[in-house]
Amino acid sequence: MVSIPNIYKSRHMKYFIIVPVALMLVSIALSTRITLDSTLSGGVSIVLQTSANTTAQQISSVLSSRLGILNPSVAKAPGGIQITIPLNTSLSYAYSNLTSFDQYQANYSKALVNSTTLGIRLQGNETNNTILTMLAASNKQINISMYAMGASLNAELAAVRPLAPGLTYQKGNVNNMSSVAQGAYQNALSGYTKKVMSALSSAVPFSSYSYEQLSPQIGRFFLSQLLDVVIVAFVIISMVVFFIFRSPAPAFAVVFGAANDMIIALGAMALFGIPLGITSIGGLLMLLGYSIDTDVLTAVRILKRHEGSPEDRAFASMKTGFTMTSTAIVSFGVLFAISLFEYVPTYYEIAGVVLFGLIGDLATTWLGNASLVLMYKKRKDKIK
């Protein structure tokens, strides 16, 4: 049986950290090329499953001539073609007015409830000037909200007229206005989707497709919320790790390992064309949990255990960790391969992110994190 030497007994162990740092720097440079998918940037993302040899220029020409869509993004995707186009201007404007309508309707409902409540309080107390003033203000708010709802609905119907003509509503009937407002946007969206897919079917035959659309406002909201989640996760992790080890050095090593795994995964996403979206961020959070698990267990074994030398404990941790991570790499590698051929976008993005992150974790944890913790342990023992 081949005996593997203990790398942590090397005199050059302090140079091991160069490898994960180099990977981090390269990944940071690559990550500037990451693209946001439609779930974060807004727009329409279409994936066609096809084996046809159609060029990007042919698809762009059809979309431009039939729908007036200029400079669509057309790229090869596993099993087919991915097309990203900006939101239709009419739909974007209609959605903005629908959002305004919903807000004005909420104000109307609130004012109506308030007005009804004040009317009940006024019964038997018709001369109460305070209630009368409040009731007048509520009634004024009702009228203002009703007018604003009508203006927003008119603007929405004007915007969707090219896609859903002939829509009318009953002025003053809030339920009817709300129904028309919601239905107008959905009908226009459905009509636009049919036009886009009809144009694409004339350019390239496909067996199936996926169609996703998201407004830029919702995309920006999702992005800000997801960034907040990642920041809060790192803050909590730092606090917990510091509480466990009562020292900033191992806490830094653990957080560095987790952050570097995510950075390497981002670099791989840019290299292999995996867009950053809600799905891929889910994969990054999975990777964060896995990385913290291996880093903390390694640090605990080196710092808290006492059997053998610290180098032996670090090497034993590496052998166990390599087995665990290799198993996970094989599992996600199989999922990535399947999604690559069948192209299931969700599996493709999650598996790709976790797979490349785990490959980077081998270098980050065992050349970076473990070396940092081991050097801290040796320095601490010398001081004692």
What is the reported pLDDT for 158? 93
- Per the listing, tokens 């996926």 go with 210
pTM to 2 decimal places: 0.66
Cα gap 163→41, rounded to integer Å: 24
Q: Determine whether domain 7-39+217-383 maps to CATH 3.40.50.300.
A: no
Contact 257, 368 (CB under 8 A): yes
In this structure, are residues 340 and 276 in contact, taking their beta carbons and an 8 Å threshold? no
Strand 80-85 versus strand 208-214 pairing type: unpaired
- Of the candidates 233, 250, 247, 355, which has an alpha carbon nearest to the alpha carbon of residue 296? 250
Q: Given this model, what pLDDT does residue 1 score?
A: 44
CA atoms of 292 and 342, how far apart (whole Å): 32
Nearest Cα neighbor of 36 from 193, 216, 208, 211 is 216
At 68, is the secondary structure helix, strand, or coil?
coil
Write out the chain's pLDDT in tens, 384 residues.
456 788 888 888 888 889 999 999 999 999 888 877 766 766 788 888 887 777 778 888 888 888 887 777 777 776 778 888 877 888 888 988 999 999 999 999 999 999 998 888 888 777 788 888 888 899 999 999 999 999 999 999 999 998 888 889 998 899 999 999 999 999 998 888 888 888 888 888 888 888 887 766 676 777 777 778 878 888 888 888 788 777 888 888 888 888 899 999 999 988 888 888 878 888 888 888 888 888 888 888 888 887 888 888 888 888 888 888 899 999 999 988 888 776 677 788 888 899 999 999 999 988 888 888 888 888 877 765
- Per DSSP, the three-state class of 277 is coil
Q: Where are the chain's structural domains?
A: 7-39+217-383, 43-214
Q: 343: alpha, beta or left, given left = phi > 0 and alpha = psi -120 to 50?
A: left
Handedness of CA 135, 140, 145, 150 (dihedral sign): positive
| Residues 156, 148: Cα–Cα separation, whole Å | 12
Residue 187 CA to residue 317 CA, distance in Å, equals: 59
